[in-house]
Amino acid sequence: MTRRSEWPEPGARGDGAAAASRAAPDGVPAGAAGERPSRTPRDPVERARALCLRLLTGAPRTRQQLAEALRARDVPEEAVAAVLDRFEEVGLIDDAAFAEAWVESRHHGRGLARGALARELRTRGVAPGVVAEAVGRLDSEREEKTARSLVDRKLRATRGLDREKRLRRLVGMLARKGYPQGLCLRVVRQALEEEGEDPEVMDGYLSEDV
């Protein structure tokens, strides 16, 4: 196995690529004249490292996501573990930072609530304790404020619908984003009341399963 101290730095080419690029005295690439440089398999650790760097260049990823990508490319488990351990040591993999950024981005961009965010992080292999800490940064007050903002943006599109259909559509929209039922009902009821809906009539609908 390649020792860590021998790993090429990001952007550097491996031994095979470097050898292929060197020219012989007569200007012909190393190797027999007229022959293409040989494509010998790279060391598994070197190959895993290059794959991880390429994947991380596109977007941040969790350790599990990188491990799955390496296994899909038939990288041996020993090389997978060695490279991912090293990437964690130097901070190129940080599931806690990934989870924190994910929560901020997905809540701000799509209005997802803690429940939906936690599910997304778990499917990406983030440990339960790390998930709990990340979603815990999103407090109830901010979550409710975001829910009301989502409802306010959707209200115009529901005008003209009958009261029951309007109520169910707004509550369903929040529920799909992971908001708990009690919060969904409270926020939607308040928004519709402010538009002039009769709260007593709405209570009949709110007592049903929405």
Q: How many domains does the chain have?
A: 3
33 in a domain, yes or no? no
32 in a domain, yes or no? no
Fill in the DSSP letter of residue 5.
G
pLDDT surpassing 70 at residue 82: yes
29 in a domain, yes or no? no
* Contact predicate 41/75, CB 8 Å: no
Instruction: Pick the range with the lowest mean pLDDT from 22-26, 56-60, 122-126, 202-206.
Output: 22-26
pLDDT surpassing 60 at residue 87: yes
pLDDT surpassing 50 at residue 127: yes
Q: What is the mean pLDDT of residues 2-17?
A: 41
Shared domain for 63 and 83, answered yes or no, is yes
Shared domain for 127 and 188, answered yes or no, is no
Instruction: Pick the range with the lowest mean pLDDT from 16-30, 93-107, 157-171.
Output: 16-30
Shared domain for 49 and 73, answered yes or no, is yes
pLDDT attached to residue 28: 34
Shared domain for 73 and 112, answered yes or no, is no
Q: How many CA atoms lie within 13 A of 23 on its CB side?
A: 4
Fill in the DSSP letter of residue 196.
T
Q: Report the alpha-carbon distance of residue 101 to residue 96 in Å, rounded.
A: 9
Shared domain for 8 and 55, answered yes or no, is yes
pLDDT digits (tens, 9 = 90+) for 163-174: 888 888 999 999
* Contact predicate 53/60, CB 8 Å: no
